[in-house]
Every structure is written in structure tokens, then in C-alpha cells.
């Protein structure tokens, strides 16, 4: 049977601590557990190797033998006997000086066998008589919504793996954001806890506003005369309209802030960011002859 590098099996090196071994084992055992990978023979084999590696490396005495003798660690006592005999021979021991030697065959087919019966015994942990518990598989789902859908919190029913799950969509959730619904994943293994459901939101902007977290941005066309002389302009907000006072001689690209007229803050219903309006001044076109005369006079006055 081919030699299995236990450290490599757990993704570790020889300097790994006991805690690191335990952490690596639990992570891999859960990933390849047969209950989470039904009808997958490769996962079953991998699970056996992982359990075997943990059986040896988590036991200080076995690990010491394995580190010294590698694949023949189970025959360590025979090697130690040979070493003792050699030391005795060198020191003139055994009285008559008759040499004894060990000629047993280290058959690899006997190595890595002691976990072959694991599944027949229900994958029980050695020495405890109990099966290890693992958290159930996590589920992942995507939910597509419009920006207007997440302005306020609302309830929605999702169907995940044939099960209907009713949940509250929190106001202010962002595109690409993932939230966890605890305990709505797969069933636990050997009595372990259920997995979790992770929902990633895909939010399409169906408005003219640009959103950055709880703040909104928009451009508003402003006619030349209002920008020059001042006045009022009505602008759209996310949930209505607002009237703004325009100062005389307002320049193109001027930005004004409407406090509290932005988007809902995440999980803070009734709290909003700000709306920033940028003025885009429109120069009049198709001037009449009289308008051109007047603008020419104004030009002369300015110069």
C-alpha cells in the first residue's frame, strides 16, 4: 500500500502544533465527510486518510514514532529492540555473544489498514466510542432586487433547496452584500448544528440617482438666466420633490447638499444619508437677432 504523508494529508508541516492539527483535521473532516458527499468514493477515501492522519499525529507517542520511522512507525518497537541489541553487542553483552536479529517483513499492505473498518463501525472516534459531530453544509443563494426595493425594509419568501424561507430584507442593503441567516443550511452530521444560509444581494439601480452607501448623487439642468440672476428650481429626490433656492451667479458644476434626502442607512429605518445635486447650466441656443444685440451690449458693458 502506498505510503501516506500524514502531514501533507492535513496540509501541515512537521512543526505543526497540536492545536493546528486539531483545527486542520476538523476542517477537512467536515469537508469530506461521507454524509456531506454521498456516492462520492473519492471523498470517502480522503475522509479515511484524514482520520488516519489525525489518529497518529494527535497522539504524542504515535507522532514521535512516526516522525522518526516514517511509514514503518508501527514497527518502532522492533527497531528499538535492534538498537538495544546492537548497543549490547558493542558493549559485550549477552554473555555468550550470540547475535540475534529481527528479520520480520515490514509489509506495506499491513500499514494504513487500521482505518479500513472505520465506516463499518460508524466512523467512531477511537477511545471515545462517540461519532464526531460536524456542522451541516452552508447554503448560498442570490437575491435580485431593484434599488427601490431596499429603500425600506420588507418581508420576502425565498425558496432554497425546496424549502420556503420567509425573511426580512433590511433597508439599506447594498449590491454585492452578503448576509447570514443562521440555522437555515443543511442538517448537521451526527447530531451537529445545522449549517447557515448566506444570501448575496444583486441590486439593480432602476433610478437616475447614483448611490454610494447612504448618500445619493444627481445632476440637474439649470437654465442660464436662473443661474445668472438667481431664482428657484424644483428637483427630484428619491421619494418626492424638493424646491431649491438658486443663488445669483451660480457657476456650472456647483454642488449643493440636501441633508437627510439620501438613501436609507443600513438597518437604520428612518435614518437617511444626504442627496448631492450638481448644477448643469445650459447655455441658450438659437438666439434671435434682438437677443444677440442685447448680449453684445452686455459684453461691451462687461469689458
Going along the chain from its start, the domains and CATH numbers come out as: 6-110 (1.10.287.110), 139-204 (2.60.260.20), 210-302 (2.60.260.20)
Per-residue confidence (pLDDT) for residue 269, from 0 to 100: 81
- Measured over all CA atoms, what is the biggest interatomic distance in the chain, rounded to whole angstroms? 135
Higher confidence at residue 83 or residue 159?
Answer: 159
| Residues forming beta bridges with residue 215, ordered by sequence position | 212
Per-residue confidence (pLDDT) for residue 220, from 0 to 100: 94
Nearest one of 238, 224, 247 to 276, comparing CA atoms: 238
Asked if residue 10 lies in contact with residue 57, where contact means CB atoms within 8 angstroms, the answer is: yes
> Quick one: cell of 295?
448680449
Asked if residue 181 lies in contact with residue 167, where contact means CB atoms within 8 angstroms, the answer is: yes
Asked if residue 55 lies in contact with residue 115, where contact means CB atoms within 8 angstroms, the answer is: yes
Per-residue confidence (pLDDT) for residue 49, from 0 to 100: 87
Cα separation, 222 vs 245, whole angstroms? 12
- Burial track 61-81 (b if 16+ CB lie within 10 A, e otherwise): ebbebbeebebbbbbbeebee
Question: What does the angle CA 288 – CA 292 – CA 294 come to, to the nearest 5 degrees?
Answer: 115
Per-residue confidence (pLDDT) for residue 103, from 0 to 100: 36
pLDDT in tens, 185-212: 888 877 888 888 899 999 999 999 999 9
Nearest one of 14, 27, 98, 88 to 56, comparing CA atoms: 14
Handedness of CA 122, 128, 130, 133 (dihedral sign): negative
Per-residue confidence (pLDDT) for residue 83, from 0 to 100: 57
> Quick one: cell of 23?
483545527
pLDDT averaged over every residue in the chain: 80
pLDDT in tens, 86-121: 555 455 443 443 333 333 333 444 344 444 433 344
Q: Which of 79-83, 94-98, 131-135, 249-253 has the highest mean pLDDT?
A: 249-253
Cα separation, 263 vs 13, whole angstroms? 51
Residue 248 has pLDDT above 60, yes or no: yes
**How close are the terminal C-alpha atoms of the chain, in Å?**
98
Q: What is the mean pLDDT of residues 215-221?
A: 96
Per-residue confidence (pLDDT) for residue 276, from 0 to 100: 97
Question: What does the angle CA 174 – CA 179 – CA 185 come to, to the nearest 5 degrees?
Answer: 150
Q: What is the mean pLDDT of residues 36-61?
A: 86
Asked if residue 32 lies in contact with residue 47, where contact means CB atoms within 8 angstroms, the answer is: yes
Cα separation, 235 vs 38, whole angstroms? 60
Q: What is the mean pLDDT of residues 287-300?
A: 90
Nearest one of 169, 203, 163 to 183, comparing CA atoms: 163
Per-residue confidence (pLDDT) for residue 45, from 0 to 100: 86
pLDDT in tens, 56-82: 888 888 888 888 766 666 655 655 665
Per-residue confidence (pLDDT) for residue 167, from 0 to 100: 85
Q: What is the mean pLDDT of residues 222-249?
A: 93
pLDDT in tens, 159-188: 877 888 888 898 999 999 999 988 888 888
> What one-character-per-residue DSSP string does 47-102 give?
HHHHHHHHHHHTSHHHHHHHHHHGGGGGGHHHHHHHHHHHHHHHTT-STTT-----
Cα separation, 87 vs 245, whole angstroms? 102
Per-residue confidence (pLDDT) for residue 186, from 0 to 100: 83
In this prediction the pTM is 0.56
Per-residue confidence (pLDDT) for residue 38, from 0 to 100: 78
Higher confidence at residue 125 or residue 297?
Answer: 297
Q: What is the mean pLDDT of residues 131-145?
A: 83
Residue 246 has pLDDT above 90, yes or no: yes
Amino acid at each position: 500500500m502506498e505510503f501516506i504523508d500524514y502531514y501533507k494529508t492535513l496540509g501541515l508541516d512537521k512543526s505543526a502544533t497540536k492545536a493546528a492539527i486539531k483545527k486542520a483535521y476538523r476542517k477537512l473532516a467536515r469537508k469530506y465527510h461521507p454524509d456531506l458527499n454521498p456516492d462520492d468514493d473519492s471523498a470517502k477515501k480522503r475522509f479515511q486518510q484524514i482520520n488516519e492522519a489525525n489518529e497518529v499525529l494527535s497522539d504524542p507517542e504515535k507522532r514521535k514514532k512516526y516522525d522518526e520511522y516514517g511509514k514503518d512507525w508501527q514497527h518502532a518497537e522492533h527497531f528499538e529492540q535492534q538498537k538495544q541489541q546492537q548497543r549490547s553487542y558493542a558493549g559485550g553483552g549477552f554473555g555468550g555473544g550470540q547475535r540475534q536479529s529481527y528479520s520480520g517483513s515490514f509489509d506495506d499492505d499491513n500499514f494504513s489498514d487500521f482505518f479500513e473498518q472505520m465506516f463499518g463501525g460508524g466512523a467512531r472516534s477511537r477511545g471515545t466510542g462517540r461519532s464526531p459531530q460536524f456542522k451541516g453544509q452552508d447554503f448560498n443563494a442570490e437575491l435580485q432586487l431593484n434599488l427601490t426595493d431596499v429603500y425600506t425594509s420588507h418581508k420576502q419568501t425565498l425558496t432554497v433547496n425546496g424549502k420556503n424561507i420567509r425573511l426580512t430584507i433590511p433597508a439599506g442593503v447594498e449590491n454585492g452584500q452578503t448576509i447570514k441567516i443562521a440555522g437555515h443550511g443543511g442538517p448537521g452530521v451526527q447530531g451537529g448544528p445545522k449549517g447557515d444560509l448566506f444570501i448575496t444581494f444583486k441590486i439593480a439601480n432602476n433610478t437616475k440617482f447614483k448611490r454610494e452607501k447612504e448618500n445619493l448623487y444627481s445632476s440637474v439642468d439649470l437654465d442660464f438666466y436662473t443661474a445668472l440672476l438667481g431664482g428657484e428650481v424644483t428637483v427630484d429626490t428619491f421619494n418626492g420633490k424638493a424646491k431649491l433656492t438658486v443663488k445669483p451667479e451660480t457657476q456650472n458644476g456647483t454642488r449643493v447638499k440636501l441633508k437627510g434626502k439620501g438613501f436609507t442607512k443600513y438597518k437604520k429605518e428612518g435614518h437617511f444619508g444626504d442627496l448631492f445635486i450638481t448644477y448643469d447650466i445650459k447655455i441658450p441656443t438659437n438666439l434671435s437677432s434682438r437677443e444677440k444685440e442685447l448680449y453684445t451690449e452686455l459684453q461691451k458693458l462687461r469689458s
